[in-house]
Amino acid sequence: MKKTKLLALIFLIVGFSSCAVIRQGEVGVKRTFGKYADKTYTEGLKIFNPFTTAMIKIPVQTENLEVGLSLPSKEGLNIQAEISILYNVISKDAPALLRTVGREYERNVILPVFRSAIADVTSRFYAKDMHTGQRGNIEKEIQSQMTTLLDGKGIIIEAVLIKSIQLPRNLARAIEEKLEAEQQALRMEFVLQEERREAERKRIEAEGIRDAQNIIAEGLDPQVLQFKSIEAFMQLAKSPNTKIVISDGDMPVLLTGEEGGK
């Protein structure tokens, strides 16, 4: 009875040890007598001989490798930075990656390639560029260089993200002062543009008034004035009020009855 239970326990242990569960986001590669198979296994329960074979699991989803290091700049400064490397392993290339690089591919390949690429790229930029809009260009250049160096390794570099930059204190203050000066200059330029527009508006308005006055002056010759005066007196003559008209022969002057009384 005891032997039967012991045998059942042994078979149970062997049964469990001969099974592997491959989860979503990873693949399995069988290693038999130290040799990796070319086939990859996707999610599900997989059975193998535990005495001769092991199932090696490799994640193929997007991985985030975070690195803190000092970046060299063009002027020779060292900039402290936190950087994320987003990468994934190509499923079909997992066996070749295990054979040529091993399971420690982050330490053996990705990090050395990353350090080489970032040193080459950032040394071509000034420290201030890493703190401004040039950061995106630096990230893309590092990603492109890493992709070239890792070609054929079965690893895809999705993105390189510079999350934080710590500039030397004096340089950071100098950049802030420069940005403040640029903002002040932009504000002053806006004010000057407003003043120029207002001056132009007033000039156009003055020209319009001058032109209108010139047109009126050109049209008011003595004959027109005399004609308009006669028209006005003809209208006033129709009024029943007492009127006194005094004329020097050219322009009559009208006095009403009340003004005459005074």
Q: Are 157 and 149 in contact (CB under 8 A)?
A: no
More confident: 181 or 179: 181
90 and 106 both lie in a single domain:
yes
Whether the pLDDT of residue 178 is over 80: the answer is no
Pairing, β 26-32 against β 53-59: antiparallel
Mean pLDDT taken over the chain = 79
Would you state the pLDDT for residue 171?
61
Would you state the pLDDT for residue 254?
52
Residues 6+ apart with CB under 8 A from 236: 243, 254
229 and 249 both lie in a single domain:
yes
> Which H or E run contains 102?
none
Amino acid, single-letter form, for residue 43: E
Exposure of 117 by Cβ count < 10 A (0-12 exposed, 13-18 middle, 19+ buried)?
Answer: buried
Structure tokens at 173: 């203050």
Residues 53, 59, 61, CA angle at the centre, nearest 5°?
155
110 and 54 both lie in a single domain:
no
48 and 95 both lie in a single domain:
no
Q: Following DSSP, what letter does each residue of 105-129 receive, concatenated? A: HIIIIIHHHHHHHHHHHHTTS-GGG
46 and 104 both lie in a single domain:
no
Whether the pLDDT of residue 3 is over 60: the answer is no
| Mean pLDDT score, 159-175 | 75
41 and 69 both lie in a single domain:
no
pLDDT digits (tens, 9 = 90+) for 135-146: 889 999 999 999
| Mean pLDDT score, 9-13 | 46
Q: Is residue 2 assigned to a domain?
A: no
pLDDT digits (tens, 9 = 90+) for 54-109: 888 999 999 999 999 888 888 888 888 899 999 999 999 999 999 999 999 999 99
Would you state the pLDDT for residue 160?
94
Please state the domain count of the chain: 3
Q: Are 94 and 42 in contact (CB under 8 A)?
A: no
Is the pTM of the predicted complex or chain greater than 0.85?
Answer: no
> Which H or E run contains 62?
none
Q: In a 3-state reduction of DSSP, which class is residue 154? A: coil
Model confidence band, residue 169 (pLDDT cutoffs 50, 70, 90)? low
- Residue 257: which domain range? 222-261
Structure tokens at 171: 């340089």
163 and 78 both lie in a single domain:
yes
pLDDT digits (tens, 9 = 90+) for 23-39: 888 999 988 888 999 99
Model confidence band, residue 157 (pLDDT cutoffs 50, 70, 90)? very high
Would you state the pLDDT for residue 207?
82
